[in-house]
Amino acid sequence: MTKPIRVLHFQGRMGKGGAETFIMNTYRNIDRSQLQFDFLIYHDFKDIKPYNKEIEKLGGRIFSVPNPKKNIFGYVLAVQKLLRDEYFDIAHNHVFFGGGLNLWLAHKAGIQKRIAHSHATTDGKNTLFSTVIRKGLDKWMFKYGTDFLACSTEAGIGLFGEDHPFKFIPNGINLNLFQNKRETKRESKKRIGVPEESFVIGNIGRFELQKNHDLLIDIFKNVTIDKPDSSLILIGEGSLEEDLKLKVNQLQLNEKVYFLGIREDIPDILNAMDVMVMPSLYEGLPISAVEAQASGVKLVMSSEVSKETQLSQNVKFLSLETSLDVWVDTILKEPMDNRPLPEMKKFDVEFTAELMQGIYLDEVRT
């Protein structure tokens, strides 16, 4: 029996972020008799492991190496050793900054298929040093990459530039899981502990600077002035969690803001929301936004999010420079329901998995 092709994903961490969710959705739906996934993560994130048991059950492996931001030489040596000791047919890089290094290491190890995949419009690093370093790493990315993928046009241009070709890969989800409601909105609110009569604003995302929860809490504070019976539910974890909880306490919002952590019942939580608000500083095409629209939830996002994120009728984009009053008026304005556009069909995970399987198998066994 022919062994499956092994794909090593350079991801850094396997938490509940968008890129990780994309990888896992794909992994669950590809033909694992032909393809198997392995994962390279950093030592710092070894304890973030919501997917570890599932990965092992599906036949994947997880390899831990030093964080290159803290120990670049240790990282290079560890990756070189891994690529010597283990065999991989494909290297799939998901890291925005530094992907060129990973593709170069894969090239040196003799891996013939080396994929660069953009999941965001930027990485938020704008210092002179990072700009200079990135130019060099990007040259390696273009030289040693064989396939170039992106979750949106803006994400592709953000990493590869205006002139370099790339293939659009939708961030696929299980549409049926989100479109077929298991309970009423009132029942979903009650089960997660939110007052049944409250107006619920929600956000799903890591508590990191990119997601801009600081502004979200300011927006919500102003929503409560116009609509006192409002609640804010936050799903995620991250380095800024304690700072955000402190701000919520200072604004006397403790009884209205719910930190729900990492959850497995996202479809039910989305069912409890009236509006999802995402004032992100930058994004590619966030999976949580696709999930919200598939669930029929109104969506209000910053204009920094890719416009290709709009897959339904009731989506609003606002500049981060817009006043809080405009954010509040947009959030509270009827209608609250949402209906998918025809483009939503391309975001079914079976379609995405088929696309990725074709990319992985192309020229690997020919």
Question: Is 3.40.50.720 the CATH classification of the domain at 5-172+348-361?
Answer: no
> What is the reported pLDDT for 363?
63
Q: Where are the beta strands (DSSP E) in the chain?
A: 5-12, 35-42, 61-65, 90-93, 113-118, 147-150, 167-168, 199-204, 230-235, 257-261, 275-278, 298-302, 315-318
Whole-angstrom distance, CA of residue 270 vs CA of residue 6: 35
Whole-angstrom distance, CA of residue 56 vs CA of residue 280: 33
> What is the reported pLDDT for 126?
64
Write out the two tokens for 347: 């975001």
Ramachandran angles phi, psi of 250, nearest 5°: -65, -35
Determine the topology of domain 175-346 in CATH.
Rossmann fold (3.40.50)
Predicted TM-score (pTM) of the model is: 0.89
Q: What is the dihedral of CA 52, 232, 326, 322, to 10 degrees?
A: -40
Q: How far is CA 87 from the centre of its chain?
A: 28
Instruction: Please report, for the chain, the start and end positions of each structural domain, with discontinuous segments joined by +.
Output: 5-172+348-361, 175-346
Residue-wise pLDDT tens for the chain (366 aa)? 589 999 999 999 998 888 999 999 999 999 999 999 999 999 999 888 889 999 999 999 999 999 998 999 999 999 999 999 999 999 999 998 889 999 999 999 999 999 999 998 887 666 665 667 878 889 999 999 999 999 999 999 999 999 999 999 999 999 999 998 889 999 999 999 999 999 999 999 999 999 999 999 999 999 999 999 999 999 999 999 999 999 999 999 999 999 999 998 999 999 999 999 999 999 989 999 999 999 999 999 999 999 999 999 999 999 999 999 999 999 999 999 999 999 999 999 999 999 999 999 986 544
> What is the reported pLDDT for 1?
57
Amino acid at 238: G
Write out the two tokens for 28: 């669950």
User: SS3 for 296?
Assistant: coil
Tell me if domain 5-172+348-361 and domain 175-346 are identical in fold: yes
Whole-angstrom distance, CA of residue 269 vs CA of residue 246: 24
> What is the reported pLDDT for 366?
41
Amino acid at 356: M
State how far the alpha carbon of 16 is from the alpha carbons of 38, 52, 71, 276, in Å.
Answer: 17, 12, 25, 18
Contact between residue 347 and residue 290 where contact means Cβ atoms under 8 Å apart: yes
By CB atoms closer than 10 A (0-12, 13-18, 19+), residue 360 is buried
Contact between residue 115 and residue 93 where contact means Cβ atoms under 8 Å apart: yes
Amino acid at 229: D
Instruction: Identify which of 90, 116, 98 has the alpha carbon closest to the alpha carbon of residue 169.
Output: 116
